[in-house]
Structure 1
Amino acid sequence: MKIGIYGGSFNPIHNGHIYMAKFIIDYLKLDKLLVIPVGTPSHRKNILADANMRLKMCEIAFKDQEKIEVSDIEVKSKEVSFTYDTLLKIIEKYPNNEYYEIIGEDSGAYFHKWKNYREILKLAKVVVLQREGYTTLLKDSNLLQVKNPFLNCSSTRVREAVLREESIENMVPKEIAKFIKVNKLYKK
């Protein structure tokens, strides 16, 4: 089985994330895509919305997607989230498969600084999605660079629009916009 692993802060999940999840399933012909919101991030100060809220938004966004499973593997962990550790847990849960670690080129630009990045490349193919303004420096036979469409959407733009009390319905699904409003997320 071909299993994709799509981790991120998803703070909040937006139409670009959703499009890319569907795109990568088709592009790689994946049997399953695990969407994994980060619990406690390793690479930045934790200023994210509550992990359970981000998890719930991912569940809402992908509720009707047969090949997508939203995983709480990092959210329920009390440890700082490192891709290598999460990958080992996934391999233990789903042994003897092909694994594809999906990252954006913003992460690909510094992938060589990740914890145990060489081991990650031995255990999985690392699939780098293009992002405007970034370049992946590392070259490896298990690192695949994908020519995907550039999407003009980001979690930062969604959060900024919420702060300015502007509509976000062109950036996130309606159910996510409603969830953000009802739960008063991304307000100061």
Structure 2
Amino acid sequence: MNSSGIIGVFGGSFDPPHLGHAEIVRSFWENFPEANELLIVPNHVSPWKQNKKTSSEEILTLVKVQFEGFPKTRIWDWEIRRERPSYTEETVLELLRSTPNAKLSLLIGEDNYSEFHKWKNWENILNKIHSLLVFKRFSNSIPENPDLKEYRNKIFFLNNRIVEAASTDLRETLSGSISDQRKPIALSEEVWKIILKNRSYA
């Protein structure tokens, strides 16, 4: 795929951001070095999940530190500032309002890919974006989603390294890690230092 002019869009809770997220960003740039930029889009709360306990400002600080070393990668805080559930279609439409001719490439994990046909107005999302980039989370072989077969020419699979990390699992164990002053292997040193200092997950 010709990556010239592409704007990558990588959304999620990033609560907290971890090395698995960093690997996905690394893989994006390895595969699409000519892309214009990659937007990191933290949400306020996913429609599928409960409200966050971590403040928006704390998450934005951690996300900035996690990704500041990547070129042409910036944080877009539109979703997290809205303080309500985030729907991908709204995000895509907002981006296209500000940059009407943008070639948006939406990054999603294999688990979201298998359920993509259940997302709100999923067909309109696929009709509006340039491509859907699917990254590996659990296995090296991702089964095709038959419900998306008409959009097969828009779907690409990243050959990223699988990093065993999940924000949900980290939130469940971080209180103990902070008490023990023991950094979880899935966190970068920079993110861990801020979490220890602010005791965001204690």
TM-score, scaled relative to structure 1: 0.89
Instruction: Measure how far apart 1:22 and its partner are.
Output: 1.7
**Structure 2 CA distance, aligned partners of 1:38 and 1:164?**
26
Q: Does 1:5 align with 2:9?
A: yes
Q: Identify the residue that residue 22 of structure 1 maps to in structure 2.
A: 26
Question: Secondary structure of 2:60's partner?
Answer: helix
Q: Tell whether the 8 Å contact from 2:27 to 2:158 is kept in structure 1 after alignment.
A: no
Instruction: Measure how far apart 1:95 and its partner are.
Output: 2.5
Q: Which runs of 4+ in 1 moved over 4 A?
A: 133-136
Q: Identify the residue that residue 138 of structure 2 maps to in structure 1.
A: 132
Q: Tell whether the 8 Å contact from 1:35 to 1:70 is kept in structure 2 after alignment.
A: yes
Question: Secondary structure of 1:40's partner?
Answer: coil
Q: Identify the residue that residue 197 of structure 2 maps to in structure 1.
A: 182
Mean Cα displacement is larger for which, 45-54 or 131-140? Answer: 131-140
Q: Does 1:155 align with 2:159?
A: no
**Structure 1 CA distance, aligned partners of 2:19 and 2:161?**
13
How big is each residue's C-alpha offset from its partner over 1:152-178, in whole Å with a ceiling of 9 and x where there is no partner?
222234334422225225322222101
How big is each residue's C-alpha offset from its partner over 1:116-164, in whole Å with a ceiling of 9 and x where there is no partner?
1101111111111122167552332222233322112222343344222
Decide whether aligned partners of structure 1 residues 62 and 147 sit closer, same or farther in structure 2, where only a CA change above 3 A counts: closer
Decide whether aligned partners of structure 1 residues 45 and 180 sit closer, same or farther in structure 2, where only a CA change above 3 A counts: same
Matched-pair identity in %:
27
Mean Cα displacement is larger for which, 5-14 or 173-182? Answer: 173-182
Runs of 5+ unmatched residues, structure 2 = none
Decide whether aligned partners of structure 1 residues 48 and 33 sit closer, same or farther in structure 2, where only a CA change above 3 A counts: farther
Q: Tell whether the 8 Å contact from 1:105 to 1:136 is kept in structure 2 after alignment.
A: no
**Structure 2 CA distance, aligned partners of 1:131 and 1:66?**
24
**Structure 1 CA distance, aligned partners of 2:48 and 2:135?**
19
Question: Secondary structure of 2:7's partner?
Answer: strand
Q: How does 1:28-47 map to 2 (within 5 A)?
A: 28-29=32-33, 30-47=35-52
Structure with greater Cα Rg: 2
Mean Cα displacement is larger for which, 29-38 or 45-54? Answer: 45-54
Q: Tell whether the 8 Å contact from 2:28 to 2:158 is kept in structure 1 after alignment.
A: no
Question: Secondary structure of 2:170's partner?
Answer: helix
**Structure 2 CA distance, aligned partners of 1:169 and 1:130?**
21
Decide whether aligned partners of structure 1 residues 180 and 136 sit closer, same or farther in structure 2, where only a CA change above 3 A counts: farther
- Cα RMSD, aligned residues only: 1.9
TM-score, scaled relative to structure 2: 0.84
Tell me which of 183, 187, 192 is aligned to 1:168: 183
Decide whether aligned partners of structure 1 residues 93 and 168 sit closer, same or farther in structure 2, where only a CA change above 3 A counts: farther
Residues matched between the structures, number: 187
Q: Identify the residue that residue 70 of structure 1 maps to in structure 2.
A: 75
Query: What is the one-letter code of the residue matched to 1:12?
Result: P
Q: Identify the residue that residue 84 of structure 1 maps to in structure 2.
A: 89
Q: Does 1:51 align with 2:56?
A: yes
Instruction: Measure how far apart 1:5 and its partner are.
Output: 0.1
**Structure 2 CA distance, aligned partners of 1:46 and 1:135?**
31
